[in-house]
Structure 1
């Protein structure tokens, strides 16, 4: 049963919805996924790099070989042996990175009092889904190699990163690396079978994602030829979820990936996995990332911090500057 969060009627939320409808959805609908222009996708992250960091946090750069990362913690440090967050950014496996998601990562560190490893994993055209998952799993391994128990790590991500958060929890079990403490998906893209999404009423309402592009991106990142069906097992909703860690899913009421969130909630319930699905009114896709701009996004991060505290069995101690 979904928990509904009313709101999103303020001026800021309305302006963000309009901006997404006019600029983001239009760009995502027509920007080429192959060819010279597709190589400009990293510019999105480059543009965000000058944004100043929050003074209440500190950052250490991580070189994982095929991936890069930033380990962000409250200033003065945080003991990773007490737990850590593994953050996987969204961007449809084609754009965004450490800079675009810096502010949400910083606020998560401050709200939880824990270090957060933000991962810049390989994306198209450099690598497909297998490369992305390999990097995300190796980042999980990096945390455990430095003293954080697998059972004290919470995997979370938005959109495509939400897909990876679920996929990492499945992969670590398969590889014998241990089970994470929990998984958080922010508007996670969990089902590559895009027919259901395109038929969903939110395919017309979503101001952010053009539903018709999902099939194309899904085929590219999984290496599926045009006209062929994507292997259902590439979608976390079709995995064996028995023994999966507790889950929190947040999505917007009118976004097309609400389909994925609700389907995953159904599958988790069938597998007996503790989970919470929150459906937030008046918001856009992956809205918690916008915590620097929206009070509803900050409230969503508070919910995440509460979930993290619950699965780790720790007392939540927000740090100064978490607002």
Structure 2
């Protein structure tokens, strides 16, 4: 199968200004703060301030659900079809962000897709290593199946580190005899924990705000407790059997490397896929849909994919 890549040209003035803001004010913090356990705890504060800027639309209901060792929340937009579910796994490098930072994005996606969403507060650094994050994400998917949702009605979505978990959740589910979800949406996903290939990539150190070049140092904490052996990168696993995949990335971000790599591997495995590369957009630009018109356009594309891969029966 050939790679299916769409290029989305054009960059709005608002998007250019927002990218400049991220480079000037956010990039220095992410690029130069020490990767200590103390700093990882400080980064967790980001999730508490998020509701001030990223609120869901009026009429959206949010309901907490406690699971085994972690929790999640139902996000129910007004009028959303309760039979179609987006299982959302937030990004943040496995150490920051959470339900609050992503609540606005998840609500927008669910509303556009005529769905409800279950957003997962999986455990992460410094509280827990990557193996626990992966286990929590898989547990959330299995829980949805236990609640009676059909796999054909579940789309797993995630951004950045959450994109990593979206792929590993579907892959591990298949390996454990669970059914595959209807589809996977990955926004600027991290898929390769081996930094060597990405080290010489053009945008690795030029990204607007994401310090992907520091992944090699972060791996020491992420991989704690795992057996020595191959890295658990989804791009290196057996991908055959995955459902249709939509990947969205910006043309000048560091994780475009991962998006293109995963697209290549999906094509080799014969997995239906589409990679959209948006000109000059920053990492996970859809999360900033309130400020960037391209973010709103991307959410429309995500919603269309979700409706296409998980069609619901017409009302009688």
TM-score normalised by the shorter chain: which range applies? over 0.9
Aligned equivalents of 2:76, 2:61: Cα separation in 1: 6
Structure-2 residue corresponding to 1:170:
171
Question: How big is the shift at 1:108?
Answer: 1.0
Match of 1:261 in 2: 259
2:189 aligns to what?
A: 188
CA contact (8 A) 1:251 1:279 kept: yes
2:293 corresponds to: 295
From 58, 74, 81, the equivalent of 1:78 is 81
Report if the CA contact (8 A) 1:211-1:256 is conserved. Answer: yes
> 1:233 Cα deviation (Å)?
4.2
Q: Residues 172 and 315 (structure 1 numbering): CA distance in 2 closer, same or farther, change over 3 Å? A: same
Aligned residue among 23, 26, 46 for 1:21: 23
Contact 2:153-2:311 within 8 A present in 1 as well: no
**Corresponding residue for residue 320 of structure 1:** none
Q: Against the structure 1 CA distance between its residues 79 and 270, is the aligned structure 2 distance closer, same or farther, given a 3 Å change threshold?
A: same
How far apart in 2 are the matches of 1:218 and 1:252? 24
**1:172 Cα deviation from its structure 2 partner:** 0.9
Matches within 5 A, 1:271-290: 271-290=269-288
Q: Cα distance 1:259–1:49, how it changes in 2: closer, same or farther (>3 A)?
A: same
- The 8 Å contact of residues 309 and 315 in structure 1, kept in 2 or not, is answered as no
**SS of residue matched to 2:297:** helix
Distance 2:199 2:23 in 1: 17
Q: Determine which of 294, 297, 309 is the counterpart of 2:307.
A: 309
Instruction: Report 1:122-161 matches (<5 A).
Output: 122-161=123-162
CA deviation after TM superposition for structure 1 residue 79, in Å: 2.3
- The answer to whether the 8 A contact 1:249-1:277 is kept is yes
Give the Cα–Cα distance (whole angstroms) in 1 for the partners of residues 118 and 245 of structure 2. 19
- 2:104 aligned with 1:106: no
- Aligned partner of 1:319 in structure 2 is none
* Distance in 1 (alpha carbons) for counterparts of 2:123 and 2:10: 36
- Contact 1:173 1:179 survives alignment (8 Å): yes
Contact persistence 2:18–2:292 (CA under 8 A): no
Contact 2:56/2:108 (CA < 8 Å) preserved in 1? no
Deviations 1:70-124 (A, max 9, x none): 10112256322xx211000000001000110011111011101111001111010
Give the one of 3, 6, 17 matched to 1:3. Answer: 6
| Structure 2: gaps of 5 or more residues | none
Q: How many residues align?
A: 310
**Deviation per CA, 1:233-282, whole angstroms, max 9, x where unpaired?**
41000000111111000001001111111111111111111000000012
Question: What TM-score does the superposition give when structure 2 sets the normalisation length?
Answer: 0.93
CA contact (8 A) 1:58 1:77 kept: no
Match of 2:69 among 66, 69, 80: 66
Cα distance between partner residues in 2 of 1:251 and 1:77 = 27
Q: How far 1:212 sits from its partner (Å)? A: 2.2
How many angstroms apart in 2 are the aligned matches of 1:195 and 1:23?
28
2:91 maps to which residue?
Answer: 90
The counterpart of 1:236, out of the listed 234, 237, 253, is 234
Within 5 Å, give how 1:34-53 maps onto structure 2. 34-50=36-52, 52-53=55-56
Deviations 1:45-87 (A, max 9, x none): 011234544113212111113222110112256322xx21100
Residues 9 and 279 in structure 2, CA contact (< 8 A), matched pair in contact too: yes
Classify 1:155/1:282 alpha carbon distance in 2 versus 1 (closer, same or farther; 3 Å). Answer: same
In 2, the alpha carbon distance for the partners of 1:308 and 1:123 equals: 27
Asked whether the 8 Å contact 1:7–1:296 carries over to 2, the reply is no
Distance in 2 of aligned mates of 1:233 and 1:268: 18
